């Protein structure tokens, strides 16, 4: 009466829910929202994408861009021309590899937060209750969920 499965996430989100995941992930890694575009001509820049992502177009045409900042590194999330979530990492005095690592780390955490928020809302709609919740030393979110039979 039990089975184990492993799932790889697909992010299909409207900008508000995606940007909420960005802010949650940024907070867990000590980033804060950048108030202005701090990129200078001398900074290095690396572009990445969130794998298997699709950001739904905002019908109101609002700006779909969010920048966060930590230790001289600015990471900007946006929707690219193909609708995927794009990540642009800029920083002074950093190698491309360092910037890529920071961008990938944050990009993965954004996906983790997106999945967490989505699971929470979908499970609540099915009367599935989270009875235990913890973040382990490896930064994995562990949930124990119960559903009572009708």
In order, the DSSP letters of 39-92 are --TTSEEEEEE-TTEEEEPPTT----EEEEEETTEEEEEEE-TTSPEEEEEEET
Identify which range of 30-38, 67-75, 79-87, 115-123 contacts another protein by CB under 8 A. 115-123
119 lies in the site for another protein, by CB under 8 A: yes
Residues sharing a CB contact under 8 Å with residue 25, sequence separation 6 or more, in sequence order: 106, 109, 110, 112, 113
Residues numbered 8-37 forming contacts with another protein, rule: CB under 8 A: 8-10
Identify which range of 37-45, 81-89, 90-98, 138-146 contacts another protein by CB under 8 A. 138-146
Residues sharing a CB contact under 8 Å with residue 4, sequence separation 6 or more, in sequence order: none
Identify which range of 1-9, 31-39, 40-48, 74-82 contacts another protein by CB under 8 A. 1-9
Q: Nearest approach, Cβ of 40 to another protein (angstroms)?
A: 31
Classify residue 138 by its DSSP letter.
T
Binding positions for another protein, rule: CB under 8 A: 1-10, 52, 108-109, 111-112, 114-116, 118-119, 122, 126, 128, 138-150
């Amino acid at each position: 009466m039990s089975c184990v499965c492993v799932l790889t996430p697909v992010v299909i989100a409207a900008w508000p829910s995606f940007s909420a995941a960005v802010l949650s992930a940024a907070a867990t890694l000590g980033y804060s929202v950048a108030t202005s575009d701090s990129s200078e001509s001398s900074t290095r820049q690396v572009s990445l994408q969130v794998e298997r992502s699709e950001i739904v177009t905002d019908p109101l045409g609002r700006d779909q861009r969010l920048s966060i900042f930590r230790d001289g590194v600015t990471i900007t999330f946006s929707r690219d021309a193909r609708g995927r979530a794009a990540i642009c990492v800029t920083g002074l005095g950093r190698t491309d590899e360092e910037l890529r690592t920071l961008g990938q780390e944050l990009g993965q955490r954004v996906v983790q937060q997106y999945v967490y928020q989505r699971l929470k809302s979908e499970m609540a709609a099915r009367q599935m209750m989270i009875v235990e919740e913890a973040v382990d030393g490896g930064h994995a979110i562990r949930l124990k969920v119960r559903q009572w039979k009708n």
